[in-house]
Amino acid sequence: MDIDVDGVAQQVSTGRLPGWDRVEALVREAHQTYSSATAGAVADYIPVLAAADPELFGLCVAEVDGGLHQVGDAEVTFSIQSISKAFVYALVCETFGHEEVLERVGVNNTGLAFNSVMAVELNGGHPRNPMVNAGAIATTAMMPGATPAEQWQQIRDGLSRFAGHPLELDEEVYRSEAATNLRNRAIGRLLQSYGRIAVDPLEVVDTYTRQCSLRVSARDLAVMGATLADGGVNPLTGERVVSAQVCTDTLAVLASTGMYENSGEWLFEIGLPAKSGVSGGIVAIAPGKGALGTFSPRLDAAGNSVRGQRAAAHLSRTLGLNVFASTARSPERQEQDR
Ligand code: GLN
C-alpha cells in the first residue's frame, strides 16, 4: 500500500494472519495451555484491585477486518489502568503532531518502575516517555479542553471511539485510587516545579486517575489495538479515530516503553508493540493484521500479567506476529529471484 507522508510516497508491508479456523484454534490452545499458570500476584497498591479474582483469564484476537476470536473471560470488564496511556497519547499526538509531543514527553525508556520519581529527577524534570506515570500525567495535561471536565470528556469519548462503544467509569476503582494516589500527586507537583505542567497538577492527576478507571474487557482492548493496527480506523465501526502517522508513532513508543522496564525483554521474546496495566490487561498490536487483548490479574514484579505474557508469546509465535521475524527465502523464491 502507498501512503503519502510529507509528500513522499511510502511502501507499507505487513502481511496477513492465518485463516479464520487456524486463528480460532490457536487462541483456544493458548487459553487452555496457560489457564493453569499461577505465578505472580494481584496488584494491591490500589486497595480495590486486591479484590480481583486471580483466576480470571480472557483472550481476544481482533482482526483488522473486524473478525473477533475470543475465549474465556474475554468480556469481563476491569479498569484499563496504564493501557489508557497509549490511547490518550495517540489522541494528543493527533492534536499536536509528532515534533511537539516528542519534545514535551520524550520516547525513551526510563529503565525504572512506572511510578518512579527518580526518573523525573534524573532527566532534569523532563518526562522520559508517555507510558510511565510522569509522562502520562504530562500527556493528559495536553489533552484539548478548556477545563478538566472538558478534557475528561474528550478522553472518555476518544477512548470510546477506539473501543467502538461508550466506556464507563468504574466509580469504585476511581475512588479507591483517588484516595491513595499520593505518589502520582507528588509526581504532578514535581512536574509543576520544573515548569512542565502549566495547569493545576492535582486536577491533571485527577483526570489521569479517571482515565485509568475506565472499564474495558480483553475484547475491547483487542478492538482498540486493532484500530492502531489498521492505520487508525476502528474495525467494528469503520470510524477513523486517529491518522495512520499517529498509529505509527504510538506503536514505536509502545515497542520501546509499553511493558515498563521489561520492554526490551518483551520485544526480545514476543516482538510486538504492546501496553500493559496493573489490573491485569495487555494489548499487543500486530501492524496491518490485528491485535491481541488479554486479561488475567496476576502480575510479575514489573507489573505485567503473567498469563497474558505467556499467551502473547505463544500466539506471537504460532500466528507469526513477531515484527522482527526473519527467515531464509524458500527454494522457490530463490529460484524466482535468480
Ligand atoms: N493508575 C495506575 C497508577 O497510576 C496505573 C499504573 C499501571 O497500570 N501501571 O499507578
In which residue ranges of the chain is CATH 3.40.710.10 found?
16-79+215-322, 83-212
CATH for the 16-79+215-322 domain, from 3.40.50.620, 3.30.930.10, 3.40.50.300, 3.40.710.10: 3.40.710.10
**Cα 238 from Cα 47, distance rounded (Å):** 38
Predicted local confidence at residue 285, as pLDDT: 98
Give the residues surrounding ligand 1 with Cβ less than 6 Å away.
Answer: 81-82, 114-115, 133, 177, 184, 212, 277-278, 303
Catalytic positions: 82, 85, 208, 260, 278
Distances (CA, A) of 67 to 24, 124, 233, 285: 10, 46, 14, 15
CB 75 within 8 A of CB 219: yes
> Residue with the nearest Cα to atom 4 of ligand 1?
133
Q: How far is CA 46 from the centre of its chain?
A: 20
Distance 302 CA to ligand 1 centre (A): 12
Local confidence band at 117 (pLDDT 50, 70, 90 cut-offs): confident
From 42, 44, 46, give the residue whose CB has the most ligand 1 atoms within 8 Å, as the site to mutate.
46
Distance 249 CA to ligand 1 centre (A): 22
283 sits in the region (left: phi over 0; alpha: psi -120 to 50; else beta) called: beta
What are the pLDDT digits (tens) for 301-310?
989 999 999 9
Average pLDDT value for residue range 110-129: 87
pLDDT (tens digit per residue) in 128-145:
899 999 999 999 999 999
> pLDDT for 219-267, tens place per residue?
999 999 999 999 999 999 999 999 999 999 999 999 999 998 899 999 9
Distance CA 309, CA 319 (A): 15
pTM of the model: 0.95
Q: Which atom of ligand 1 is nearest to the CA of 260?
A: 9
SS3 label, residue 15:
coil
Residue that has been written with the C-alpha cell 487508525 in this structure: 232
Least trusted range by pLDDT, from 30-34, 84-88, 105-109: 105-109
pLDDT band at 120 (very low <50, low <70, confident <90, very high): confident
Ligand 1 atom with minimal separation from the 45 CA: 10
Q: What is each CA distance from 294 to 35, 140, 158, 207, 268, in whole angstroms? A: 12, 25, 21, 25, 19
Mean pLDDT of 31-40: 96
Give 187 Cα–ligand 1 centroid separation in angstroms. 13
pLDDT of residue 4: 61
Pair 256, 243: CB distance under 8 Å: no
- Cα(27) to ligand 1 centroid in Å equals 28
Report which of residues 166 and 338 the model is more confident about.
166
In the chain, the percentage of residues whose pLDDT exceeds 70 is 97
pLDDT at 320: 94
- Output b/e per residue, 34-58; b: 16+ Cβ within 10 A: bbeeeebebbeebebbeebeeebbb
Distance in angstroms (rounded) separating the CA atoms of residues 110 and 132: 8
Q: pLDDT tens digits for 262-295?
A: 999 999 999 999 999 999 999 999 999 999 999 9
Question: Which whole number is the average pLDDT over 38-44?
Answer: 94
> What are 164-175's pLDDT values in tens digits?
999 999 999 999
Question: 79, 114, 210: which to mutate for ligand 1, most atoms within 8 A of CB?
Answer: 114
Ligand 1 nearest-atom number relative to CA 277 = 8
CA of 97 to the centre of ligand 1 (A): 25
The full length of the chain comes to 338
Nearest CA to ligand 1 atom 6: 82
Q: How far is the CA of 212 from the centre of ligand 1 (A)?
A: 7
Q: Cα separations (Å) of 255 from 132, 252, 318?
A: 13, 5, 20
Q: Which atom of ligand 1 is nearest to the CA of 83?
A: 8
Provide the mean pLDDT of the chain: 94
Ligand 1 atom showing the smallest separation from residue 136 Cα: 4
CATH class of 83-212: alpha beta
Identify whether the C-beta of residue 147 lies closer than 8 Å to the C-beta of residue 220.
no
